[in-house]
Structure 1
Amino acid sequence: MHSTPQEKNTQQKNVPLQDEEQPNRAERIIAVGGEPVLPEVGESVYLLRYWQDLGLVGMGAMGPVRLSALEVIAWQQGSGIALAPWEFSVLREMSAHYISSLRAGAKAECPPPFGDPVSQFDRDLVQRKVVSQFKAFILSSSGPKG
């Protein structure tokens, strides 16, 4: 959802992962009145909070990189949260998969990870059409009766 799809004719090998001037997939959905569809995570929601606190990714010379073990250890010490070994690994894997998804999502033909892009809509446009239909219905039912 955080990737910004590039037009097919503008894709180049050394294009940055994010174009700050263009909205990402989630921002585009929100702009037309939709809400990004995300999976239910159940009891694992605390791992998402930890991952967000960690910053999702590390920063390398060429852009985002997988969170390093040192970053996760430093976060644990600073936050006072002791991770189980599997949680430690999962947070680093989440970071790696996120970067992979950012890169894949930059391709225009790549579908969003969740949700149906066909169902994205402009609420104002829908509202105008509904109001127009109701006005037409009211005018037709309140007209002269013969």
Structure 2
Amino acid sequence: MSELKLRINAEMKSAMRAKDKARLGTIRMIQAEIKRIEVDERIELNDTRVMAVLDKMQKQRRDSISQFDEAGRQDLADQERQELEVIKTFLPQALTEEELAGLVDQAVSESSAQSMQDMGKVMGILKPQILGRADMGVVSKLVKAKLAG
């Protein structure tokens, strides 16, 4: 079993002991998504795939928060924020803007990218390095700006 899945299991047990229903619910949601993928694909997920699942769940929460805020549904937005905070505890430390810019510069030079047509090469290099540590939309904008300018 992957290290991250073991950690998620341990956190679920501690949330049960602490009777922290909100945290427990989110952790169970994470486990259900991991289990769904494992059953559908008939594989056991490694840490990289679990990280991708968590990153996707994080993005979904961010999208939901912005939609609920626009609709004036503060109660639902707050619930999504709470879930997002729990999901973030299993992801690595987020990259700072300076670190992100440095990685983008490095990937552009490493791929010898010259124009927007080379964006796929740059993103291919960046994605494994920043999975779960930065919003891919922000990274995409940085790469576009770097290749355009």
TM-score (norm 1): 0.26
* Higher-strand-fraction structure: 1
More helix, by proportion? 2
Higher relative contact order (CA 8 A, sep 6+): 1
**Which structure: larger Rg?**
1
If the length of structure 2 is used for normalisation, what is the TM-score? 0.26
